[in-house]
Structure 1
């Protein structure tokens, strides 16, 4: 038997997952969405075993304020020993507003704030599909931005639409009301609606080159020049390096801690910056060994690295390592989703395990350094 309180929890969960689409009116207007589910009325056996509970449950649904938007459907059950009984069978709540009110609490407050913000966006930029897609994609910021920042963002979007900025650097934008760092903090929100209004895939700004940190662990690999440096990928591509192994680490601390090692270069993968390594020939011509945090994002980075390189192995990214350091686990704040088809069977098992344990993370730096170096030695020696 689903109680009224349990039904409100279901409505809240549905509101949480669908609010962005409803606010955008995709794929249908918010007034037309509906939530319907059965209330799991008791069987005759259940009524006989606890008639008071069944009666209280039916009374609770009978007391619910019904309207055109909130409809409880009742059915007549004829039982041999209990007789004919009228029981609530299903609930239908129609319209996002009604679902929010039925949910109550924070879910209701968030929905009406998000809805109003979406209405303001449509009033400013028009109610076409491209803007609606922006509303759906930026539902989080729409809800979370304070009023001043929200209004400023809309003003900035309009200014950028009306004033081409090709060739400017981000901090050179002459827009009143924002400082030099504002766009960096709110660029995703601005870009979503700038794209919707103009069809452009970028603002046209001149960006700083992305630098990749590199340490050459074997001085014999270079005739002259620095052994520890950072450079953009196009400059890395010009280096005449021929390492046997390229180590790619997710975290900089591990890069900096590496001792000298024959024929080896270590690169700071810097999260999803591993994509930049596809343009570096000497990386593509070397065997790559990846070591990152043992969490879903670490495996997502490994997947992307492997998708752009033919010879990538991992180390310390297995279930045995995860379980051996259970006392060092922490929660992973934002787990990565989606398929990662390039993972090996062992990597997949580790990913499944950390997810089944509640999306945990074993940070790369927490593994004892002596054990990490031993694993790296073994990885570099394998198939050398």
Structure 2
């Protein structure tokens, strides 16, 4: 074809247009719902009447290729129009390729094996929820055909176990185990209509999750427990028969281990677990609570969450003075938040705003373990002697 000439359509042009209807699931949904096919008409860019005299041989080859690609109508049908005139005679030129039957689409795309697999998946779907999932994304669903039987086995067990309080490790369905479910959690979550995230996936199903523990260091005066540290399941905190006047919550483990314990009080390692659950501990409702987190946006977000349950919580070492006294120890916060935190005090909110707005540098953070220890001991808000 001459440089700059208009490109003529080919059998691949037709295939590409029909492929889009395959990729978006339209063709397979039409099959599953036993609906009539909406004909796919593909306009065929071809020669102009003015080109017939000079390119008659090329045109004949072009028509031959389109007709061969149709396989006698098994893949698509051709529509023609007559062009030409006295000089070159009248000629029949294809203008459209039309796919009006699913069988034509299957042959054109070479997807008969996938169609059979799709029909098997639909026939084996145990309920309407699974059928709707397959219909919503038929082509991606086909990617799970090889393990479909195992997925359905896991699905049935998990669906039947809703609200049972079992651990996932107790799954006893044939051919599947904990590792299988964990590796395919996203697919199973979509089938079951629950969260894809590991913890919420289990809790949404009413299954038991790995217990969270909280570590607590106790003052020697707290009786009747003759130990200096406890590790307690969060759900059992209210069963712990201890009373204290002061509680200090910190995020860093080494800080937790090093910080002096308040007289007649406790130090609690907040670590990464949900401080809102810690905030429901009845003993903390009656205590003076102090919180020390990293001087970054997420540190203030954690403080905000803790105050939703313990509004009397006071922060310490999360102030402008501490931040600027340690400028040489600043780091960079990954993925800072800019959430609205309306439970901060005016002073805390001012520092938070400085961090969110990058007033003193981009994504500034001061981790609590970088705060000078002498500075820390001089500013503890409780008696620990």
Place the TM-score, normalised by the shorter chain, in its bin: 0.5 to 0.7
Aligned partners of 1:153 and 1:190 also within 8 Å? no
Runs of at least 4 residues off by over 6 Å: 150-157, 175-179
Q: Distance in 2 between matches of 1:331 and 1:154?
A: 45
In structure 2, the residue corresponding to 1:341 is in which secondary structure?
coil
Q: Report if aligned partners of 1:169, 1:205 keep a CA contact under 8 Å in 2.
A: yes
Task: State the partner residue of 1:224.
Answer: 225
2:212 corresponds in structure 1 to 210
Partner of 1:370: 374
| 2:169 aligned residue (153, 168, 171) | 171
Q: Shift in Å at residue 327 of structure 1?
A: 2.0
The aligned residue for residue 247 of structure 2 is 246
Q: For 2:375, what is the secondary structure of its paired residue?
A: helix
TM-superposed deviation, 1:318:
1.4
1:347 offset after TM fit, Å?
Answer: 1.0
Larger-Rg structure: 2
**What are the ranges of 5 or more consecutive residues in structure 1 without an aligned counterpart?**
1-22, 24-122, 133-141, 143-147
Residue aligning to 1:297: 298
Residues 155 and 369 from structure 1, CA distance in 2 versus in 1: closer, same or farther, beyond 3 angstroms?
farther
Structure 2 gaps of 5+ residues are 1-23, 25-128, 196-200
- 1:159, CA displacement in angstroms? 4.4
Whole-Å separation in 2 of the counterparts to 1:180 and 1:188 = 14
SS in 2 for 1:161: helix
* Equivalent in the alignment of 1:195: 193
Contact 1:240 1:282 in 2 (8 A): no
Tell me if structure 1 keeps the 8 A contact 2:171–2:177. no
**C-alpha deviation, 1:224, in angstroms:** 2.9
Report how far residue 364 of structure 1 moved: 1.0
Q: Following TM superposition, by how much is the alpha carbon of 1:242 offset from its aligned partner in structure 2, in angstroms?
A: 2.6
C-alpha distance in 1, partners of 2:339/2:220? Answer: 41
Deviation of 1:278 after TM superposition, in Å, equals: 3.0
Q: Within 5 Å, give how 1:107-118 maps onto structure 2.
A: none
Q: Tell me how far 1:155 sits from its aligned partner.
A: 8.2
**1:271 match: secondary structure:** coil
TM-score by structure 1 length?
A: 0.53
Q: Note the C-alpha offset of 1:271.
A: 2.6
> How many Å separate the matches in 2 of 1:152 and 1:273?
39
Confirm or deny: 8 A CA contact 2:289 2:313 kept in the other structure: yes
Distance 1:186 1:306, change over 3 A: farther
1:219 aligned counterpart, secondary structure: coil
Given the superposition, is the C-alpha separation of residues 335 and 127 from structure 1 closer, same or farther in structure 2, using an over 3 Å criterion?
same
Corresponding residue number in structure 2 for 1:105: none
Provide the secondary structure at the position in 1 that maps to 2:341: coil
Distance (Å, rounded) in 2 between the aligned partners of 1:211 and 1:264: 19
Partners of 1:153 and 1:363 in 2: CA distance: 46
C-alpha separation between the residues in 1 aligned to 2:145 and 2:324? Answer: 49
Determine if contact 2:319/2:348 at 8 Å carries over to the other structure. Answer: yes
Deviation at 1:158, TM superposition (A): 4.7
Q: Which residue of 339, 362, 369 maps to 1:358?
A: 362
Q: 1:162 to 1:366 in 2, by over 3 A?
A: same
SS at match of 1:229: strand
- CA spacing shift, 1:230–1:186, aligned 2, 3 Å: farther
- 1:76-91 correspondence to structure 2 within 5 Å: none
1 or 2, which has the higher helix percentage? 1
* Aligned-residue RMSD, C-alpha: 3.9
Offset, 1:203: 2.5
Supply the distance in 2 between the matched residues of 1:202 and 1:170 (Cα, whole angstroms). Answer: 13
The structural deviation recorded for 1:173 is 3.6
d(CA) in 1 for partners of 2:145 and 2:318? Answer: 45
* Residues 248, 268 of structure 1: 8 Å contact kept: yes
1: CA distance, partners of 2:365 / 2:316: 16
Q: Deviations over 1:230-263 (max 9, x none)?
A: 1123432133333221000112221111234312
